[in-house]
Amino acid sequence: MPREKELSRKASFRQKLDKQLKDKKTLPSTSGYEFQPLYTPEDAPGADYEERLGYPGEFPFTRGVQASMYRGRFWTMRQYAGFGTASESNERYRYLIEKGQTGLSVAFDLPTQMGYDSDDPVSAGEVGKVGVAVDSLEDMEVLLKGIPLDKVSTSMTINSTAFVLLSLYLAVAEKQGVPFSSLSGTIQNDILKEYIARGTYVFPPKPSLRLITDIFEFAGGNVPKWNTISISGYHIREAGASAVQEIAFTFLNGMTYVRAAMDAGLEVDAFGERLSFFFNAHNNLLEEVAKFRAARRLWAKIMRDKFNAVNPKAQMLRFHTQTAGCTLTAQQPEVNVARVTLQALAAVLGGTQSLHTNSKDEALGLPTMESATVALRTQQAIAFESGVTDMIDPLGGSYAIEALTDRIESEAMRIIEEIEAGGGMVDAIEKGIVQRQIEDSSYSYQKEIEAGERIIVGVNSFSESSETPIPVLRIDPKLETEQVGRLRDLKARRDNAAVSRALANVKAAAESSDNIMPPTLEAVKAYATIGEIVGTLRDVFGVFRAG
């Protein structure tokens, strides 16, 4: 149909539709634009098909990073877990593997994330609460007992202390007799989003970036199958960012890491292969699918055009997805199963490489064994029963999906260019620009909920006068006392002279330009603790204080 005739037909249809809908309001997306009630070919023109879409496994990877996608293999089913002591968490990991989980995902408690030992006064009341307490190699050995590290991929959500946790993991692999070249997994290692959204930073940005590039360099030569960073939009979205902001700010962080690595003399086509990403999946299924597709295309262009990457694997955006914790409600928690299913389906339709599905009780506490099993079964039902894995990019070519994909890519690029022109991401973080934009987005979203414009089932609509409580996992307070006791026992019986020498070597590396990883690995093998290693670096690097 000629273009003029199609435009006229569309205008006529919209007039008819407007009369039928009258004053019915269309709620905008989380990114502020209104969805059209109907999309046509004019909204997603296909003249530049090869540049915008192409084929799966080929630049710009809009349709997926592998030619066969889930026809070849499913995504890694990786349930995030960790609580209490290493022994308890090990039991949960082995349980989930028995139930069909295909990869580990380790949650650490706040002291571990921020470089404090369990016996530090700062840690009191937080040991083992939001994740597992890991103080030393002894804890890591227990955490991974009976888990073959050459056969299981492990993801560790750890940032400011990532260099220590990776060293602990490598030390356990040595004890198991597993060569580093056989290890696969990911450390989050994304410090910039900590300054933006989470707050578990230790050191200022500059030395923190140095630690990240040291990990890139060390792992590139010693742990070739390890993803050395998982650049996270997840926590940015949890803090209140829109879908577009999630992509834009995540990629600005990613670009900062790429530049830091290149400035350190690393080759983009080499370390670029081991970059991975971590995104959030929200309730608006079509917007989320489009977001993932836009992200792949945009990152491929950034790596090619801004950093001259020619290796296709360095241009690919590979990502893990977690369903949105911030959308879960304490009211009518059973409804969370439906929310998680929609979000997981969006991730799969969007082409994720790895997926964690939240449990229905996570707005109330840590997930019970039963709720964690239901969350895993949700992934398995999508994989084996839904049929969406039988086709590669099944929504590709949809007028609505392609139009939304184009719009998200365009608006994310606009934000990226604005921040870059203003001095870059580190400068924008230090000035609070990024934080304010996220706060504004979060405030607008909350106003819509409170005004009843955005329906949250069971919260501001369809509520129940009374609800039946569900079981909630509680952490026994005595576990903290037991963890502290074990740590003090370790410190008394280890070779403390060897620990002191190892820590001196860590400090010397930090004060020079030497890579921090080799002395850190030797320190953990001597049973130096996380608190001791990080404390040593605090003396050299200082600490970051939010302004």
Residues 179-202 have pLDDT tens digits of 999 999 999 999 999 999 888 999
| Cβ–Cβ under 8 Å, residues 343 and 381 | no
pLDDT, average across residues 151-172: 96
pLDDT at 311 over 60: yes
Residue 197 is given by DSSP the state: I
Tell me the backbone φ, ψ of residue 136, rounded to 5 degrees. -155, 180
pLDDT at 476 over 90: no
Strand residue runs (E) in 252-376: 275-281, 319-323, 354-356
Q: What percent of the chain has pLDDT over 90?
A: 80
Domains and CATH numbers, the chain: 72-450 (3.20.20.240)
pLDDT, average across residues 162-177: 97
pLDDT score of 443: 95
pLDDT at 5 over 90: no
Residue 317 structure tokens: 């955006």
pLDDT, average across residues 454-483: 89
Higher pLDDT, 25 or 514: 514
135, 147, 441, 493, 518 from 527: Cα distances, Å: 9, 21, 45, 10, 15
pLDDT tier, 471 (very low <50, low <70, confident <90, very high otherwise): confident
Kindly report the average pLDDT of the chain as a whole number: 92
pLDDT score of 35: 76
pLDDT score of 469: 86
pLDDT score of 167: 98
pLDDT, average across residues 132-148: 96
pLDDT at 1 over 60: no
pLDDT, average across residues 112-118: 97
pLDDT, average across residues 76-93: 89
Q: Which residues pair with 154 in a beta bridge?
A: 104, 185
| Cβ–Cβ under 8 Å, residues 15 and 47 | no
pLDDT score of 114: 97
129 SS3 class: coil
Residues 244-285 have pLDDT tens digits of 999 999 999 999 999 999 999 999 999 999 999 999 999 999
Residue 184 structure tokens: 């696969």
pLDDT tier, 28 (very low <50, low <70, confident <90, very high otherwise): low
Residue pointed to by tokens 């492990």? 154
Cα–Cα distance between 233 and 321 in angstroms, integer?
Answer: 10
187 SS3 class: strand
pLDDT tier, 39 (very low <50, low <70, confident <90, very high otherwise): confident
Cα–Cα distance between 245 and 241 in angstroms, integer?
Answer: 6
pLDDT, average across residues 359-372: 92
pLDDT tier, 51 (very low <50, low <70, confident <90, very high otherwise): low
pLDDT at 137 over 80: yes
pLDDT at 336 over 70: yes
pLDDT, average across residues 537-547: 90
- Degrees, nearest 5: CA angle 320-515-505: 125
217, 285, 317, 320, 453 from 300: Cα distances, Å: 22, 23, 7, 17, 37
Q: Name the strands in the sheet holding 76-81, side by side, starting at the edge strand that comes first in the sequence.
A: 226-227, 185-187, 153-157, 103-107, 76-81, 354-356, 319-323, 275-281, 229-232
Residues 412-439 have pLDDT tens digits of 999 999 999 999 999 999 899 999 999 9
pLDDT at 177 over 60: yes
The number of beta carbons lying within 10 Å of the beta carbon of residue 18 is 12
pLDDT, average across residues 369-382: 96
pLDDT score of 348: 98
pLDDT at 75 over 80: yes
